[in-house]
Structure 1
Amino acid sequence: MPAGLTAYRTVLTDAPARAFSLAGFVARMPISMTTIGIVLLVSLSTGSFGRAGLVAGISTAAGAVSAPLWGRTIDRVGQARVLVTTSLTFTTGLALLAASVLAGWPLALTLLAAAVVGLGFNSSGAAVRARWNHRLQGSPLLETAFAVEAVLDEVIFIVGPVLVTFLATAVHPVAALGTSAALGLVGSFVLASRRSTEPPRHPRRAAAAAPARLSPTALLPMVFASVALGAIFGGMEVVVVAYATESGLLPYAGAFLMAWAVGSLVAGVVVGTITWRRPPAFRFRVGAAALALSLVPLPLVGAPALVAVLLTVSGMAIAPTMIASVGVTRALVPQARLTEALGWNSTGLAAGLALGASVLGQLVDRGGPQLGFTGVVGAGVLLILAALGVRSRG
């Protein structure tokens, strides 16, 4: 196997794979922009972080319900139709949500629009990883390919929050959400057009002839751990916006989240150069513990520079943990059901995002950002407990 950075060079010289990876990168830009964009729009319009967290939470909860269903549909009918459908749904939902907030519609209508946004959260991340799995199945370079996607995820979380915060504060919150929708739409359509690299479909009739079942008992520990991870991510977005607001640094809220992502990006690049001997479940447990422990100092500090440094250090545990989570799932499921299985991981993350955004938004309203950071630490404790149950055959 190519060692070190040579492995990245080998993976990235594959032109068709590079093309679908770049399209997937653009398609999933909204994952780092939508929640913070909704929080900014609602909090700036109503003055309530609790309400903002509730709206963002409903959106991600709807995404939690739909992710495995879209994943199963992709495995059966192919990626193109699903990517187009979800991106159009997502764009429509964001337009309705923005209109409802600006026009002062009843909260119920805003929550309904948020649910439509969630139903349209695309599966481009799982789709791209499924393409890599199909293209490099059995190759030790597959871990490097997953590291490439993890690094791109962190670039997304570096660029996205800064861009959406700038647009929301310097232009208008609707401009931020509109940009998110446009990027998701363009990326999804381009990815859908790359038919030659799609994994083969597994129609229902073929599945009936040769059943490939998902084991709930094998997947549930990873799903529960994903919920805890999502609670950390979703809660942190709300708390950081509240912290920046209280500190008079609202235009820099995205920069704090960028610091978190920079740490993860650096760690993700390093992970892709390593040939691992330990199984992915072990690596996931170690990464989860490191992430949870790195959050402990946050409620105890107030200086913005120190918060940024702590977030950078904490971020270094994210990419290794997320890369290992994909490895755990691959080792547990039939390849014909991989996109659906990754969708269940996305369901856990989305459910956690919803829970974290909503609960920690309420904590911020009651006790300010420091209490919110304490809630993030609590989510880290849940992550450690959930990670103890994660096992894999790989």
Structure 2
Amino acid sequence: MKLTAAPARLSTVSATFEAEFKARLHWSADTDAAIEQRVADILADVQQRGDAAVLEYTARFDGLDVAGMGELELTQAELKAAFDTIPAAQRSALEAAARRVRSYHEAQKKASGESWSYRDEDGTLLGQKVTPLDRVGIYVPGGKAAYPSSVLMNAIPAHVAGVGEIIMVVPTPKGEKNALVLAAAYVAGVTRAFTIGGAQAVAALAYGTQTVPKVDKITGPGNAYVASAKKRVFGTVGIDMIAGPSEILVLADGSTPADWVAMDLFSQAEHDELAQSILLCPDAAYIDEVQAAIDRLLPEMPRAEIIAKSLTGRGALIHTRSMEEACEISNRIAPEHLEVSSRDPHKWEPLLKHAGAIFLGAYTSESLGDYCAGPNHVLPTSGTARFSSPLGVYDFQKRSSLIEVSEAGAQVLGKIAAELAYGEGLQAHARAAEMRLK
């Protein structure tokens, strides 16, 4: 039986478009109640028993039965050895990607991450002090797939921000360590690394154990157990975001080879069956070409079955009245990845307000952003790009306000503050300000 992928064919001129469009976009982020309860139990157990609980869950879930936590910590020598043993081409690619990611985040730090202050006319100093977090934890998925790119994208901006310690956790089911992930940790400057995963790894980072140090913030993607655990420990530590299924939206004018666009849609669909790939285009004939390319190229793909399920279940090829309307719909979707596959992408970019990352022009495949373009690939999903941003240097910094009121300034500000404080019924506030008045 021939494998096929049939993304929904929608048209904005159809009377049923709105209902069909909303149905295709719908995805529930609600976690299964059984998972929530299991995660709550694991977190509480690790918080109470520390290393002993982590060892038990690692043996149970990863099949890794060891005598002590020391066997689950990766030494810097092991990370260096992994780097030295991977093929030269992988070493070169890893270092090149790391250079570009570091360069981008260094520019980001200069643009928005510096302390500043000024003095007003009466000599009062006002400003902002930017300082890095002391210690962060990065979660790197393991098991079915290995993601060295996630190591770079989480560790490098933390390093650029000036974070003192970067603690990496990565599950290694049956003890199988991925050399490329370990090499990426070496290149990115990870301080300590542990071969633990799941909710127990999140708990260890959030609460600290006898061996795993407590961190200030946890970043990085994971499965439903990891996502649930991150939600539950938020407040004890900071987190980056709760990631949903991967998404790509291609906004095309019909000028890009259809095969390129079809493969770009595949690039997200191959993640998992819930990933979403959408094409917006005002040219109906071109949409037919893309569908033909999907049918022709799908059998060649090693993950064809996953791609087919993703495109059929959540994909869409949407015929719009115009490119302007396509931009409007894109803003409603607020996709994780947005490709503007057009002859003149800069014509449309000003109309696009909401997206995790915007890829301009036919030669800018989303996959380049995933690995080596430079900007971060940890992006808001499920429409949260309406109010969220990509992971960046700013996620690993905090800001403190600086206030130094001069004697002259206290005479002006004290009267204002006292008046407002009396109005709120806070007498001590008012008196504290008035005591500085001459």
TM (norm. structure 1) is 0.21
Higher helix share: 1
Higher strand share: 2
TM (norm. structure 2) is 0.20
